[in-house]
Amino acid sequence: MGLVAYFDAASTEPLHPQAREALLAAIDVGWADPARLYNQARRAHLLLEQARTEVAEALGARPDEVSFTSSGTQAVHLGVLGTLQGRRRVGRHLVTSAVEHSSVLHAAALHERDGGTAETVGVDLLGRVDPAVFTEAVARPDTALACLQTANHEVGTLQPVAEVAAACRRNGVPLLVDAAQTAGRMPVPAGWSVLTASAHKWGGPPGVGVLAVRKGTRFRSYLPEDERERKRVPGFENVPGIVAAAAALRAMTAEAAQERSRLSALVDKIRQTVPKVVPDVEVIGDPVERAPHIVTFSCLYVDGEALLTELDKAGFAVSSGSSCTASTLRPSHVLEAMGVLTHGNVRVSLPRGASAAEVDRFLAVLPELVRRIRQDAGVT
């Protein structure tokens, strides 16, 4: 890759070396159908269940609560719609925050089209929900489910999951927690009833998601019944991918404390330096209560796509707004909900091993690129 610095870990973390090693080994020995009884199948089943145990331990769950999906998005869809289906007799009201991942919002929209109701709790300028407002929302008698992410995927702000979970527990409402941006990087907050995560966010391979459903949480898949994965997820398990995902999660969790501190210091440097070297810029999200690897800023009078293109030419892989809405011209729903500047938006998310030298080079290159784009647009 030469001098290219990959700064888009919030979209996908590069494959961890231990995941690659585990994947190659599991392709050779874990290819058989784990539901069968012959020798190769028993070996695949053993690998699958060992990986399940490791993932459960890392996420604070029991192995029999954990199912594997084909992606984090599928885990969210199954988690949201399956819990709503299981609690249909209680009510059909869903509560989410305004800054959830698009997979949650799409599931909520489907629920509404099917006759359910959904309430969106707004956020402040830092992108955080007010626990008191969320508590009031879940107190509605027919609330079947609430959803809240651990940390926002665009701006990094941590959500008050523990406080919201306590409010949900008092009101008898299960809480789905989307831990995609923090699993393997930070401890999973307590109090969840349903947990979702995505392996490629922590250095595992793509194509593996995690859906954990606490014992006692009513759940019924909205899809045709399948005997695999506790009847929660249909289809043949990707055993090699799951084994590699578990290996990556185990390795990332072991490194987490040291790497979290190191990356957070680099993010602090970006947060503090960008406003000093680039005029008319807004650094977005909570400066303290945040995911360790994400920083987002917006530059006034700058086209975001043009800035990303110039940064790419200069050897930096970064993203803008939401990766799931980057192909549209509309600003991301997260930035809109926060009420912050959306022009020239850049999200830098540092992967494991990102260096101080790469960050310094980014900070040295950025001001001239912004100045040039503004000049070309007639802004001086």
Catalytic residues: 324
With H, G, I as helix, E, B as strand and everything else as coil, classify residue 95.
strand
With H, G, I as helix, E, B as strand and everything else as coil, classify residue 331.
coil
The separation between CA 331 and the C-alpha centre of its own chain, rounded to angstroms, equals 19
Task: Please tell me the distance from the alpha carbon of residue 132 to that of residue 136, in angstroms, as a whole number.
Answer: 6
Give, rounded to a whole angstrom, the gap between the first and last alpha carbons of the chain.
35
Give 59's Cβ-side CA count (13 Å radius). 38
Q: Considering only CA atoms, which of 219, 177, 271 is closest in space to residue 83?
A: 219
**Are 300 and 280 spatial neighbours (Cβ–Cβ below 8 Å)?**
yes
Query: How many residues appear in the chain?
Result: 380
Strands (E), 143-285: 143-149, 175-178, 194-198, 209-213, 281-284
Burial of 37 (0-12, 13-18, 19+ CB in 10 A): exposed
Cβ within 8 Å of residue 132, ≥6 positions away:
none
Task: Please tell me the distance from the alpha carbon of residue 309 to that of residue 120, in angstroms, as a whole number.
Answer: 34
Place of tokens 């299981």: 86
Cβ within 8 Å of residue 7, ≥6 positions away:
316, 317, 318, 348, 349, 350, 351, 354, 358, 362
Structure tokens at 113: 């089209």
